[in-house]
């Protein structure tokens, strides 16, 4: 408010936008006091000789918010006939005349006792609230709306400073304008030609509270807490100071109003002041239970690390010992809340961030699902976004919501909506290299601030999420001349060399190709490189997937499936001959070489007795690529046989 109060001698109108609806700290008698905007304005205007503060909007009309007793009745009388802003030409003209009277201080007003005498003008300020809602579309004004704002522009140009009433024995006050103060959500919510058309109109951005203001507010709220809970006085001074600092740091990015509401929530839930970060989390996320604070999370990470556990990560993701070990280290750090702990102010960064890189089909997606299962005991806590669907310009709007006036504004963002519904998630962004640059900018914001504000102005916090990005960068590249894929690493490349090459190529891509070097800086040491699947691991994956097929047949149809050694070797050869396709390729070949022909064979034999044993003895492929298998049945289990 200092900017406004210090320029009243040269500006007749102000447009306030930004954080003006927040509380504002004002120093009164050596103590900070959080005040609403109108209280702050009056606190600054009263010493300058202003006699009244008026507020108007379309719902309540014009009100006297503050006034010296000597002029209150006079101001109320003068405002009795005012309409604002009016809907037709005559009403608008009447409103403009009233605005002219206010800005001039009713210089022609007459006294009640001596109506033949002109009274000195009143020094008042008018606040126009919800100015962004005065018109439907500022880019398409109706003639009446255009005339209204044009009249306001002329009013600013013609306004004259008003002399303050003399104070007996005091110094004469300088002449200041009776300002019209527009409160707008955004700087561009009023016509641009009005804001730029006069030097008398000043735009003032009200900033978010900085670290010092949050710390001062935390001290104020500490005093309030002690008044409400007298036993808190017994807290040692050092511990109380540390609690204030912790509260202020946790409130990074919050308004002072949100800090006050967090205190109310703490008092209602009997949360001690030393645990204010918990109250802030509940206020932000709307969730009281915090899975991260439970011992089960740590125990699940311990169990997920144990190779003896059949559901552990090493048992689910085969052949990626280095990647699994690095991922588990990051999960332990996340469980302890140490992600970004080295930063001066870690803010609200995500609990954990992982960037899985390496050849396709090597277990990156499976590891993401395993992480969700370990952390939150459910694969359903895993949310996947295919970044190939976000390659077009403006794709970021799908994630965080379209701006007002654009298609999809009402629906909100897919990402922000999902996280608000369940803040405790593992979120996978698959093949990040295919995302539009605007999407990458959103990722940068999440990695740095841990929050996103959608098109509707709703802030979503990612402080309880684990974010996982996957990419095939660094494995292959497109030849600029032939446009053909060229391998950068090979299945027989030693892992240390493969890791170094992949990391170098990823860094080069983000620095030179997409121009986002800061993305790699934010990821830091969280890039996990997967290696090619070895022949031994490929065979284990093959056996596991064949086992899945056998289990599904047994559970769903009561049929046992067996493969002869010869058939198994033929299938294994087909499934593992291309190491570039990884584990996913093994599954695809099994589907075409076993599942499909097996389904044809079983579909033609619908009357199988319970406990039937199907034996695959041969696998053949003709010139057209069609695969056939030879299926027999164990004695007594063929179609039409009686159950043994």
The answer to whether residues 335 and 301 touch, using CB atoms and an 8 Å cutoff, is yes
Output the average pLDDT for the chain.
Answer: 86
Residue 639 is predicted with a pLDDT of: 60
Does 302 fall in a domain?
yes
Does 640 fall in a domain?
no
What residues are paired with 471 via a beta bridge? Answer: 357
Please report which confidence band the pLDDT of residue 170 belongs to, taking 50, 70 and 90 as the band edges: low
pLDDT in tens, 125-145: 999 999 998 888 888 898 888
Alpha carbons within 13 angstroms on the beta-carbon side of residue 104 total 15
Among residues 511, 529, 547, the one where a domain terminates is 529
Asked whether residue 42 falls in the same domain as residue 123, the answer is: yes
Asked whether residue 472 falls in the same domain as residue 523, the answer is: yes
480 burial level (CB within 10 Å; 0-12, 13-18, 19+): exposed
Among residues 249, 266, 287, the one where a domain terminates is 287
Asked whether residue 318 falls in the same domain as residue 440, the answer is: yes
Asked whether residue 241 falls in the same domain as residue 136, the answer is: no
Domain that holds residue 251: 211-287
Asked whether residue 163 falls in the same domain as residue 232, the answer is: no
Please report which confidence band the pLDDT of residue 106 belongs to, taking 50, 70 and 90 as the band edges: confident
Does 274 fall in a domain?
yes
Does 484 fall in a domain?
yes
Helices (H) and strands (E) in the chain, counts: 23, 20
* Number of domains, the chain: 4
pTM over 0.85: no
Asked whether residue 152 falls in the same domain as residue 9, the answer is: yes
The residue assigned the tokens 């306004």 is 159
Asked whether residue 243 falls in the same domain as residue 129, the answer is: no
pLDDT average, residue stretch 538-567: 91
Q: What CATH number corresponds to the domain at position 28?
A: 3.40.50
Asked whether residue 415 falls in the same domain as residue 547, the answer is: no
Residue 633 is predicted with a pLDDT of: 80
Residue 456 is predicted with a pLDDT of: 76
Asked whether residue 22 falls in the same domain as residue 139, the answer is: yes
Q: What CATH number corresponds to the domain at position 412?
A: 3.40.50.300
Among residues 514, 529, 544, the one where a domain terminates is 529
Q: What CATH number corresponds to the domain at position 608?
A: 1.10.8.60
Asked whether residue 135 falls in the same domain as residue 177, the answer is: yes
Asked whether residue 473 falls in the same domain as residue 367, the answer is: yes
Among the residue ranges 129-138, 311-320, 339-348, 577-586, the one predicted with the least confidence is 339-348
Asked whether residue 492 falls in the same domain as residue 607, the answer is: no
Tokens (6 digits) for 68: 């010296």
Does 239 fall in a domain?
yes
The CA-based dihedral angle spanning residues 146, 147, 153, 155, taken in that order and rounded to the nearest 10 degrees:
-160
Does 479 fall in a domain?
yes
């Amino acid at each position: 408010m200092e900017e406004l109060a210090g320029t009243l001698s040269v500006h007749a109108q102000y447009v306030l936008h930004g954080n003006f609806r927040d509380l504002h700290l004002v120093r009164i008698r050596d103590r900070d006091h959080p005040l609403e905007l109108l209280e702050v304005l009056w606190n600054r205007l009263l010493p300058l000789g202003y006699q009244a503060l008026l507020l108007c909007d379309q719902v309540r009309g014009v009100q006297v918010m503050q006034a010296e007793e000597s002029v209150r009745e006079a101001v109320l009388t003068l405002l009795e006939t005012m309409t604002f802003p009016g809907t037709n030409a005559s009403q608008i003209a009447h409103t403009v005349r009233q605005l002219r009277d206010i800005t001039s201080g009713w210089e022609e007003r007459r006294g009640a006792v001596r109506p033949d005498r002109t009274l000195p003008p009143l020094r008042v300020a008018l606040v126009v609230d919800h100015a962004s809602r005065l018109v439907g579309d500022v880019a398409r004004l109706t003639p009446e709306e255009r005339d209204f704002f044009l009249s306001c522009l002329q009013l600013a140009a013609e306004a004259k400073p008003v002399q303050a009433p003399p104070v007996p024995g005091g110094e004469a006050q300088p002449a200041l304008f009776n300002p019209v103060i527009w409160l707008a959500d955004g700087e561009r919510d009023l016509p641009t030609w009005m804001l730029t058309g006069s030097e008398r109109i000043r735009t003032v951005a009200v900033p978010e509270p900085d670290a010092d203001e949050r710390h001062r507010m935390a001290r104020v709220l500490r005093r309030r807490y002690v008044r409400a809970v007298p036993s808190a006085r017994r807290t040692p001074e050092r511990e109380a100071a540390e609690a204030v600092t912790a509260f202020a740091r946790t409130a990074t990015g919050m308004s002072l109003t949100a800090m006050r509401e967090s205190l109310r929530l703490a008092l209602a839930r009997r949360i001690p002041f030393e645990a204010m970060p918990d109250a802030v989390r509940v206020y932000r996320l709307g969730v009281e239970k915090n899975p991260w604070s439970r011992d089960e999370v740590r125990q699940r990470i311990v169990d997920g690390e144990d190779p003896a556990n059949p559901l552990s990560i090493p048992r689910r993701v085969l052949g990626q010992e280095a990647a699994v070990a690095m991922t588990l280290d990051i999960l332990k750090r996340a469980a302890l809340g140490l992600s970004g702990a080295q930063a001066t102010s870690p803010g609200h960064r995500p609990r954990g961030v992982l960037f899985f890189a390496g050849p396709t089909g090597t277990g990156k997606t499976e590891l993401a699902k395993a992480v969700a299962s370990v952390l939150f005991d459910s694969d359903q806590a895993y949310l996947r976004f295919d970044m190939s669907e976000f390659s077009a310009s403006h794709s970021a709007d799908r994630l965080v919501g379209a701006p007002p006036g654009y298609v999809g504004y009402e629906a909100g963002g897919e990402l922000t909506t999902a996280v608000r519904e369940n803040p405790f998630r593992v979120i996978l962004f698959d093949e990040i290299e295919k995302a539009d640059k605007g999407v990458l900018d959103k990722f940068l914001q999440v990695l740095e601030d841990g929050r996103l504000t959608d098109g509707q102005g709703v802030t979503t916090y990612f402080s309880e999420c684990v974010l996982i990005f996957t990419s095939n960068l660094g494995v292959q590249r497109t030849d600029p001349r032939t446009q053909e894929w060229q391998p950068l690493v090979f299945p027989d490349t030693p892992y240390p060399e493969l890791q170094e090459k992949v990391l170098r190529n990823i860094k080069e891509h983000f620095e030179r190709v997409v121009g986002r070097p800061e993305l790699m800086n934010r990821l830091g040491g969280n890039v996990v490189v997967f290696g090619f699947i070895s022949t031994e691991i490929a065979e284990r994956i093959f056996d596991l997937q064949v086992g899945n097929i056998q289990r599904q047949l047994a559970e769903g149809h009561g049929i046992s499936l067996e493969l002869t050694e010869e058939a198994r070797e033929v299938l294994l050869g087909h499934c593992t001959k291309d190491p570039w396709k990884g584990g996913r390729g093994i599954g695809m070949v099994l589907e075409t070489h076993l599942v499909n022909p097996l389904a044809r064979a079983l579909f033609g034999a619908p009357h199988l007795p319970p406990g039937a044993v199907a034996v695959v003895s041969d696998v053949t492929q003709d010139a057209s690529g069609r695969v056939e298998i030879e299926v027999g049945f164990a004695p007594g289990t063929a179609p039409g046989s009686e159950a043994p």
